[in-house]
Amino acid sequence: MANKSMNLKQLAEHLDLSQATVSRALNGYPEIREATRNKVLAAAAEFGYRANSIARSLATGRSGNIGIVFPDNFGMMFDPHFLEFLAGAAEMLSTRDMSINLSMPDRNHESSKYADIIRSQLADGFVVNGPVRHDSRVALLQSLKIPFIVHGRTESEVPFAWVDIDNASAFQRAAHLLIGFGHRRIALINAPKHFHFAFQRELGLKQALEAAGLPFEEGLMFNEPQTEDGGYRLTNLILQKNPRPTAILCGSMILALGCLRALRDAGLEVPGDISVIAHDDVFPYIRAEAMRPALTTTRSSLREHGRRVAEVLNDIIDGKLPASYHEIVPLELVLRDSVGPVTPG
């Protein structure tokens, strides 16, 4: 169908070498003489030879794919975040000549989905996205002995691999900053609390308040899927509180977008009347520094997470890292112009 291109055998014949030698030369084995390797590389380039990944997989027993299943909460938790993560993973994998095997969860037998994919060797391991506080996928994958990594964290008896940011401490630091500026009533616009990261973020705020001897007010905690619309509506609710909170913490830039709009509509100045800090997942098309005022954020690139998670999963599959490996991606608190001291009145 497509242009039948040269295969290893033909390349080897052309070079008057054995397939074994050509294969090794291409794959960087040390026992190949430099002169030979150069000849092989040159010929490969000349003919545009690329190893057939299928044949390689059959020989090595590795599919070269990592499996990513659409979050089953898709439609909730969702879109820009998941896609941004995907983009990072895809980017990283292409540098290692690997790919993503993307699939939808099977409503009926979601449990067998993973096993099926592994058994048919469509993927060598999985990424678990959008973990909830007690996520059953971890135990499932563990019992099936399938390599996996969680992006984020969940509560589990048995250790498992994960890569996450320190959500609690990020929001604690943000809150600490606000408290330092004299804020005492801080509202939180957050994702639904059954997500582990959302729960942790509220915890961080709580800790900062308690550390400062300030009361934690349940009534200032708002949870909603992270949409611009949600940010707008929740902010309007916040503004009805009496006395009005003097600062708002937003769980995502998308929520912040809605939040800022609501504040503008209400005729409030940031940071004059109210301070705002958001968590920035670094979407290329929503830039905190370009906003008016430039937004103070806790920042951690979701695309970067995608890259790192894919990398770590590969290393786990390769046995270079243990199945219990975990890592906290550092995160910055970027000071810009949306935080100021509380004004009396």
Residue 268: which region, alpha, beta or left (left: phi > 0; alpha: psi -120 to 50)? Answer: beta
Number of chain positions touching DNA (CB under 7 A):
27
Cα 14 off chain centre by: 46
Contact 172, 214 (CB under 8 A): no
Given a second copy, DNA, none, residue 185, with its beta carbon under 5 to 8 Å by kind, binds none
165: β partners: 329
Cβ–Cβ < 8 Å for 4, 52: no
Q: Which amino acid is at 95?
A: T
- In the complex, the smallest distance separating the C-beta of residue 5 from DNA, rounded to whole angstroms, is 8
Nearest to 131 by CA among 103, 153, 148, 114: 153
- Residue 99 interacting with DNA (CB under 7 A): no
Of DNA, a second copy, none, which one sits near residue 97, judging by CB under 5 to 8 A according to partner kind? a second copy
Separation CA 139–CA 326 (nearest Å): 17
- The listed partner (a second copy, DNA, none) that binds 91, CB under 5 to 8 Å by sort, is a second copy
Residues lying near a second copy in the complex (CB under 8 A) = 1-3, 5, 48, 50-55, 57-58, 63, 65, 70, 74-76, 78-80, 82-83, 86-87, 90-91, 93-94, 97, 99-104, 106, 115-116, 118-122, 124, 144-147, 225, 227-229, 232, 257, 261, 265, 283-285, 317, 319
Q: Which does 343 bind (CB under 5 to 8 A by kind): DNA, a second copy, none?
A: none
Residue 58 to residue 286: CA distance in whole angstroms:
43
- Locate 139 and state its tokens: 């135990």
Which of 1, 59, 215, 242 contacts DNA by CB under 7 A?
59
Q: Can you give the binding site for DNA, defined by CB under 7 A?
A: 7-9, 16-21, 23-24, 26-27, 30-33, 35-36, 51-52, 55-56, 58-61
